[in-house]
């Protein structure tokens, strides 16, 4: 038990490294946005805790940005590794993808959403195949894919494509 914990603590992708806190920080940032997309609410403890966690995660993210290598310093064989650009891009995509979840379906662009679904699917495969395997990019595109598929289903439903088969067609 103790040896397993020690192995985790000292792991090259463990809690002493950015490879661990990156994904954690990204998800915290993402959770933080959700409660504030609704109409203003009183200071309930749940939201205060989430808010405090979000601020802590923002701190971690800023620290990570300061320690990650810039892409110029990374060689071609390392091209999939965690760099500032990867990190920023994944954070931006995941966060803003979730921010959009409350929009009314009329405001969702079917073109963009469908393009995003194919795009994230392709980049999940790309992140898997690149050397070294880029799990953060994979997680980013997996979550974007999920969100975009959900948005696509909302658009389809609003336009009547997901109704049960009836004798009279929807449109």
Partner 1 sequence: MAASKFQAFWNHPAGPKTIHFWAPTFKWGISIANIADFAKPPEVISYPQQVVVACSGIIWARWGMVITPINWNLSSVNAAMSVTGVCQLTRKIRHDYFSDEKSATASLEG
Contacts with partner 1 by CB under 8 A lie at 70-72, 74-76, 79, 83, 85, 88-89, 92-93, 96-97, 99-100, 103, 106-109, 111-112, 114-116, 118-119, 122-123, 125-126, 129-130
Q: Is the peptide bond before 132 cis (omega within 30 degrees of 0)?
A: yes
Q: Provide the minimum distance between the beta carbon of 108 and partner 1 in the complex, in angstroms, as a whole number.
A: 8
Q: Smaller CB distance to partner 1: residue 13 or 112?
A: 112
Least gap, CB of 92 to partner 1 (angstroms): 6
Please list, residue by residue across 154-167, b when 16 or more beta carbons sit within 10 angstroms of its beta carbon and e when fewer do. Answer: bbeeeeeeeeeeee
Q: Minimum distance from CB of 79 to partner 1 (Å)?
A: 6
CB of 171 to partner 1, least distance (A): 19
CB of 154 to partner 1, least distance (A): 13
Nearer CB in complex with partner 1: 99/149: 99
In angstroms, the Cα distances linking 92 to 50, 97, 100 are: 19, 8, 12
- Minimum CB distance to partner 1 smaller for 6 or for 125: 125
The nearer residue to partner 1, 49 or 115, going by C-beta atoms, is: 115
Give dist(CA 142, CA 17) in Å, integer.
Answer: 23
Residue 148 and residue 97 in contact, taking contact as beta carbons nearer than 8 Å: yes
* 130/142 with CB nearer partner 1: 130
Dihedral angle over CA of 14, 17, 20, 23, nearest 10: 180
90 backbone dihedrals φ, ψ, rounded to 5°: -65, -40
């Amino acid at each position: 038990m103790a040896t397993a914990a020690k192995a985790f603590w000292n792991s090259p992708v463990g809690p002493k490294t950015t490879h661990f806190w990156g994904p954690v920080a990204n998800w915290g940032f993402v959770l933080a946005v959700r409660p504030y997309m609704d109409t203003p609410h009183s200071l309930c403890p749940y939201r205060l805790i989430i808010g405090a966690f979000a601020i802590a995660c923002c701190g971690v993210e800023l620290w990570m940005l300061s320690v990650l290598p810039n892409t110029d310093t990374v060689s071609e064989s390392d091209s999939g590794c965690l760099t500032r650009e990867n990190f920023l891009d994944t954070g931006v995509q995941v966060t803003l993808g979730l921010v959009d979840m409350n929009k009314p379906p009329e405001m969702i662009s079917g073109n963009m959403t469908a393009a995003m679904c194919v795009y994230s699917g392709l980049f999940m495969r790309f992140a898997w195949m690149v050397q070294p395997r880029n799990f953060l990019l994979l997680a980013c595109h997996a979550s974007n894919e999920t969100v975009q598929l959900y948005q696509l289903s909302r658009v389809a439903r609003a336009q009547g494509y997901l109704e049960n088969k009836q004798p009279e067609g929807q449109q």
